[in-house]
Amino acid sequence: MSEQPKQLVAPTGTHDVLPDSSRAWERLVGTFSEMAHQWGFGLVLTPMFEDVAVFNRGIGEESDVARKEMYVFEDRGGRTLALRPEGTASVVRAFVQHQPTTPWKAWYVTPAFRYERPQAGRYRQHHQLGVEVLGTEDPFVDVEVIALAWRFFETIGLSQIRLMVNSMGHAECREAFVVSLRSHLSSQESNLCDEHAKSWSGNPLRVIDCKKRECRTVVDAGPSIADALCEECATHFKHVTDGLTAIGVPWERNVKLVRGFDYYTRTTFEFVSDALDGAQNAVGGGGRYDQLAEDLGGKPTAGVGFGSGIERLLLALQAEDSLRFEKLRDASIDVFVVDTTGGQEALQICDLLRRNGFAADRAFDGRSMKSQLKAADRSGARIALLVGPQELEAGTITIRDLRATDEGNRQKLVPRSELVNVVREAIETSMN
RNA sequence: GUGGGCGUAGCUCAGCUGGUUAGAGCGCCGCGCUGUGGCCGCGGAGGUCACGGGUUCAAGUCCCGCCGUCCACCCCA
């Protein structure tokens, strides 16, 4: 006697998306794809894993993501690879490798992997969609990238979103700011929270978005990035915010907005949902990364982009109660074919309908008519086509309106040769 | 990585201070209606009470471990 094999389940922090909820995914990704094309972006697909250096040099070896969250492994050829923890680095690596003409406008949708302790809205595999523009430092591009994200959120029905923007300045402004921040923090070390009192010098910028009161007091009294910007960077930032204002995208400046990846220069931004609480309220973010292409071994090339987490967007939609799954499901099937003669008729009728552009489904296993009609009801189909021995004999089909209420006038016998036209007509009238 | 809550049917959950064959609603299958869904009535299938140890005459219930999940921190999407 062998034991029953142990049931296997999805790994910690991962999840299956089944047809009920995947309708919402299709809608999000479909909408984004359409909008990205409207904005002039082309789809880019890059490998899910890369040489680990792509991410170490990209997001910074000092960042938490690179230090302790990456899935790093060695393949059979001894190469050290990593599953992608975010979207941007791979796209920029592809740009550097292929040197397309600029400006290069790319959009993507991809899973991202981080070894984290899972909780609501945070997974070991999550999914991001986003865009990148390489080859121009024109502030209008920053505006376009932010605007695309904003309009996308509007289109899918999110209303409680706030956009926060900031500028880190270019490499020199940023470096000068880090120096003055460092000296401020070192003089205030004893006033920082327990953790940052020890760790501030590794990455002083991290202290800026610490939520502890002690750190906030120290930070508020210290230098502001806003004052550290050179004239060019200040002007660049003003063009970005003026551009947003010009097209009616509301923004607020947040001088403490310091994002987790080291590659950001100048513009940074983040979208938060007020419908989600605290910890996981960021639904998207991004910024400019004018050094990144060079860091990955390419020619100096400016870039800017944003990424948004699909799971977070769905949580935010749910929190705003903007998701209507029922409606999405109703849209699926036009016709359900009921065949009590063995199934051969349903095979041919479904094929005919599908070739003519209808969404058709049927039952299997030779069930009773009653049971098949029950399945028809569940499918959400507008109409059912019934074929039993009588119809088969007479070369006819019974068409039944599954939504009508007057029992006397809801089904009729039609010649099989007229099927496609009759179905088309029935669907048109039942749509009204 | 640190701290806490929770794991009982496919789903949502009940199960009092340990005590016979572990329940409900929804869903699923069937019958009432032997060719007609949705509503209603009746019936049925489905559980090693997450898993592994321990205490006890007796554990879903108490203890320990483990895994999973949720929450907070951290970080982020």
Q: Where are the domains of chain A?
A: 19-169+250-319, 171-229, 332-431
Which of chain B's bases lie under 7 Å from a protein CB? Answer: 1-3, 28-31, 33, 35-38, 67-77
Smallest CA-to-CA distance from A112 within A75, A152, A59, A151 is with: A59
Q: If pLDDT is split at 50, 70 and 90, which confidence band does A429 have?
A: confident
Q: What is the pLDDT of residues A74-128, one digit of tens each?
A: 999 999 999 999 999 999 999 999 999 999 999 999 999 999 888 888 899 999 9
Rounded to whole angstroms, the distance from the CA of residue A371 to the C1' of nucleotide B29 is 10
Window from A131-135, A187-191, A300-304 with minimum mean pLDDT: A187-191
Find the nucleotide nearest A196 (Cα to C1′). Answer: B74
Window from A41-45, A194-198, A397-401 with minimum mean pLDDT: A194-198
For residue A103, whether the previous peptide bond is cis, meaning omega lies within 30 degrees of 0, is: yes
Q: Who has greater pLDDT, A325 or A397? A: A397
Rounded to whole angstroms, the distance from the CA of residue A118 to the C1' of nucleotide B70 is 9
Q: What is the pLDDT of residues A204-262, one digit of tens each?
A: 887 887 777 777 788 888 888 888 899 999 999 999 999 999 999 999 999 888 776 77
Q: Name residues whose C-beta falls within 8 Å of residue A209's C-beta, 6 or more positions apart in sequence.
A: A256, A257, A258
Which residues of chain A between 154 and 183 are close to nucleic strand B, CB under 7 A?
none
Rounded to whole angstroms, the distance from the CA of residue A123 to the C1' of nucleotide B24 is 34
Closest residue to B29 measured CA to C1′: A371
Token pair recorded at residue A262: 């080291």
ipTM of the complex: 0.85
Answer yes or no: is A210 CB < 7 A from strand B: yes
Rounded to an integer, what distance in angstroms lies between the CA atom of residue A52 and that of residue A63? 14
Token pair recorded at residue A272: 């938060």
Q: CB of A290 within 8 A of CB of A139?
A: no
pLDDT number for residue A223: 87
Find the nucleotide nearest A370 (Cα to C1′). Answer: B36
Q: What is the pLDDT of residues A299-345, one digit of tens each?
A: 999 999 999 999 999 988 888 876 654 445 555 789 999 999 999 99
Q: If pLDDT is split at 50, 70 and 90, which confidence band does A298 have?
A: very high
Percent pLDDT > 70 in chain A is: 95
Answer yes or no: is A319 CB < 7 A from strand B: no
Closest residue to B31 measured CA to C1′: A370
Find the nucleotide nearest A128 (Cα to C1′). Answer: B77
Task: Say if domain A332-431 classifies as CATH 3.40.50.800.
Answer: yes
pLDDT number for residue A1: 35
**A19-169+250-319 CATH:** 3.30.930.10
